[in-house]
Structure 1
Amino acid sequence: MLRKSIIMMALAAAFTMNVSAVQIEVPKWQPPVPGADASIPANAYENYSYINEKAIQEAEIFSAKVQKNVEKPKTAIEKVFKEKTGLAQAVKLGEFSESTVILLHEGENNIRLSVPNISLRGDTVESKSSDGLLFAVHGYTGILLVGPPHGKKINKYIQNEGIYTYPGLENASWKIFKGKTHVMYTEFTPSKTKTTYGITYLGGGDVKDPYQDKFAEVVMSNYIIPSIEPLSGLDNYSHVKHWDNFGYRIPKKAKLVSEAMEDNKYEVRTYEDVGVKIRVLRFRIDPNIVDKSLAKKQIFTFLNKYGDLEAPTQYATVWNNGLPGFLIDRYKPNGESFLRHFTKDSEYYYSYRIDYDESKSLYKHKQLRDMIEYVSFDNAESLRKNTQWRIDNSHKKKFDTDPSFNQWYMGWINILAQ
């Protein structure tokens, strides 16, 4: 099992090609940016897969426990785990290696960034110090806050600060907080724009934690900052289509080849382009059935359906203007690859699937991934008024009543929103 796990890690690492390193420069006499490491590839954020030894150990323990419990399976899921002995470990490793992607594309907002953290909860917060909304995401060990410049009254918490330069960013600065809790803030204006953003990231850096084993300043400097990019490039090769309340992007050259109802349940739109087939489907939410957009549900369903457990696959919760979707990305250079995005509004589930071969397609893997991540809802403002949980009700109740999880999280949000 350990050998297979190592192979999976190696395959996942194949997503990142070390073509250049993170180069965060500072003007003369300025302090260096905390955590910046020039040995890390500048596109390391594209890997999205951060599995450590602790995660491998826990996945193997989980797999052994599952196999012991399903010797006499009683449910359909238990039967699946019994038949596919590697499935439990692959599912657990998939959960551990989830990442988070943030897209802001309302009004003047037009950026994308990513962080190697699981997302459990998202909140939309009114900033008291700036115009605009702050979008907060909480994982097991990390908090990410993105929006207009914020925390104008946090100087008493600051240990050090400085300015830096990075390609694509202007007027960039950073602040690091005092104390044992690792918190870093950066503020910047993307080149050729007039919109300034602020990002705060808090991470514990527990090396035994399979969800996040890097300190906040390391994640901010080597993954978040290099991942910041405008969404305007999408307009060069794709455009937005609307399906009532739902908006999604397709390549400009893609043709609609069919609209159909499948199994008396799924409304399906099919598009085709050179080397690319796209299916966008929706079906009504059934309140009596478990939420199909949850990450754990999606990972299990995907791995059970498609097998090939050791193929390099990435999983990410994608937050579009404060609303979550879940992305599965199985990329095989010069081979048949698969992208799937799953989200919902108050009425429908929406599934967006792309099957493609990069060697035949007009588009690169990252172009298709960026495109499928981008979705919108006409009623986003009303949908995001409630906290967006990414876990089922039993786990939600546990975290919602845990002071170390909830009160600590909201305490930081209240401080930063001032």
Structure 2
Amino acid sequence: MLRKSIIMMALATAFTMHVSAVQIEVPKWQPPVPGADASIPANAYENYSHINEKAIQEAEEFSVKVQKSVEKPKIAIEKVFKEKTGLAQAVKLGEFSESTVILLHEGKNNIRLSVPNISLRGDTVESKSSDGPLFVVRGFTSILMVGPPHGKEFSKRMHNEGVYTYPGLENASWKILKAKTHVMYTEFTPKSTNTTYGITYLGGGDVNDPYQDKFAEVVMSNYIIPSIEPLSGLDNYSHVKHWDNFSYRIPKKAKLVSEALEDNKYEVRTYEASGIKIRVLRFQIDPNVVDKSLAKKQIFAFLNKYGDLEAPTQYATVWNNGLPGFLVDRYKSNGESYLRHFTKDSEYYYSYRIDYDESKSSYKHKQLRDMVEYVDFDNVESLRKAPQWRISDSHKKKLDADPIFNPWYMEWIKILTQ
């Protein structure tokens, strides 16, 4: 079992190639950027799998526990776990290897960034400036805030500060607060724009925590900063399609080949291009059924359906202008690959699926992934007014009632939005 887990980790590293190292430069006499590590590949953020030894151990223990409990299965999910002995471990490892992607693409906002953490909750809060809202994502031991410049309270609590240069960014600076909680802030202006952004990342750095085993400054310097990129390049190879309230992108070379109703439930649009088949579908939300866009539901459904448990697969909660979707990315270079994005508004679930073979297509894996991540809703402002929980109601109620979880989170939001 352990050998299989190690194989899965090794396969996952196929997403990241050592093409170049993270090179955060600083002017003369400036302090080095905390946590920057030149041995880490500059595109390490593209590898969304970050399973550690603790995660492997917990996944194996979970698998053993499940197999014992399903010796006499009574419900459908128990029968599935009994028939597919490796599924429970793969599902748990999938949960541990989740990541978070942030896209801002409304008004003058136009950036994408990523962080190797799970998402439990997202909030849209008002900034003190008139430059738009701040988007906050909460993990188990992490908080990520993205939007206009913020965090003036850092001046009162700051441990150190400095400036740096990185390809694609101008006027870049950092501040760090070191106490029991590590917090780092960066501010920058992407080249060829007049928009300045601020990002705050708070991370626990508990090496025994499968969800968060790196300090804030390490994540900020080696994953977040290198991942910052404009979304403007999407217009070069894709365009936006509208479906009532929903907007999505397709490759410019793709053609609509059919529109159909399947199983009297699923409205489906099918597009095709060389080496690519796209299905965009929607169906009505049933309020009596658990949210189908949640990470655990999607990971289980995907692995149960496709069954290739040791193929390198990545999972990410993708926040588009403060609204979450969930992405599954199974990539095989020069082979059959699969992308799936699942999201919702107040009325429908939307699923965007691409089957493709990169060796037969004029589009590369990252181009297709960036395109699939990009979705939007006409009523996005009303949809994101309430907190966006990414866990089932039972877990939400438990965390809502926790005397530390939410009060701690809201206190940090209050501090960071100053």
Give TM-score, length-normalised by structure 2.
0.99
The corresponding residue for 2:327 is 327
Q: CA deviation at 1:289?
A: 1.1
Mapping 1:196-275, distance limit 5 Å: 196-275=196-275
**Aligned residue pairs, count:** 418
Q: CA deviation at 1:403?
A: 2.4
Confirm or deny that 1:117 pairs with 2:121. no
Distance 1:49 1:404 in 2: 29
The corresponding residue for 2:108 is 108
The corresponding residue for 1:279 is 279
Mapping 1:177-196, distance limit 5 Å: 177-196=177-196
1:315-356, Cα deviation, whole Å (9 max, x unpaired): 000000000000000000000000000000000000000000
Distance 1:42 1:267 in 2: 41
The corresponding residue for 1:384 is 384
Mapping 1:389-408, distance limit 5 Å: 389-408=389-408
Q: CA deviation at 1:178?
A: 3.1
Q: CA deviation at 1:186?
A: 0.2
Distance 1:272 1:309 in 2: 28
Distance 1:404 1:32 in 2: 34
Q: CA deviation at 1:129?
A: 4.3
Give TM-score, length-normalised by structure 1.
0.99
Q: CA deviation at 1:154?
A: 2.7
Q: CA deviation at 1:34?
A: 0.1
Is the CA contact (8 Å cut-off) linking 2:141 and 2:203 kept in structure 1?
yes
Distance 2:258 2:80 in 1: 34
Mapping 1:26-41, distance limit 5 Å: 26-41=26-41
The corresponding residue for 1:304 is 304
Distance 1:373 1:415 in 2: 30
Distance 2:162 2:127 in 1: 23
Matched letter for residue 256 of structure 1: L
Distance 1:331 1:129 in 2: 41
Distance 2:154 2:373 in 1: 33
Q: Matched residue of 1:403: which SS?
A: coil
1:229-280, Cα deviation, whole Å (9 max, x unpaired): 0000000000000000000000011100000000000000000001000000
Q: Matched residue of 1:19: which SS?
A: coil
- Runs of 4+ more than 4 Å apart: none
Matched letter for residue 9 of structure 1: M
Mapping 1:54-65, distance limit 5 Å: 54-65=54-65
Q: Matched residue of 2:34: which SS?
A: coil
Matched letter for residue 358 of structure 1: E
The corresponding residue for 2:318 is 318
Q: Matched residue of 2:7: which SS?
A: helix
Point out where structure 1 has 5 or more consecutive residues left out of the alignment. Answer: none
Is the CA contact (8 Å cut-off) linking 1:63 and 1:89 kept in structure 2?
yes
The corresponding residue for 2:365 is 365
Is the CA contact (8 Å cut-off) linking 1:249 and 1:375 kept in structure 2?
yes
Confirm or deny that 1:412 pairs with 2:408. no
1:276-325, Cα deviation, whole Å (9 max, x unpaired): 00000000001111110000000000000000100000000000000000
Q: CA deviation at 1:179?
A: 1.2
Is 396-405 or 262-271 further displaced after alignment? Answer: 396-405
Is the CA contact (8 Å cut-off) linking 1:52 and 1:210 kept in structure 2?
yes
Is the CA contact (8 Å cut-off) linking 1:101 and 1:112 kept in structure 2?
yes
Is the CA contact (8 Å cut-off) linking 1:48 and 1:316 kept in structure 2?
yes
Distance 1:151 1:2 in 2: 44
Is the CA contact (8 Å cut-off) linking 1:143 and 1:203 kept in structure 2?
yes
Q: CA deviation at 1:130?
A: 5.1
The corresponding residue for 1:4 is 4
Q: Matched residue of 2:149: which SS?
A: coil
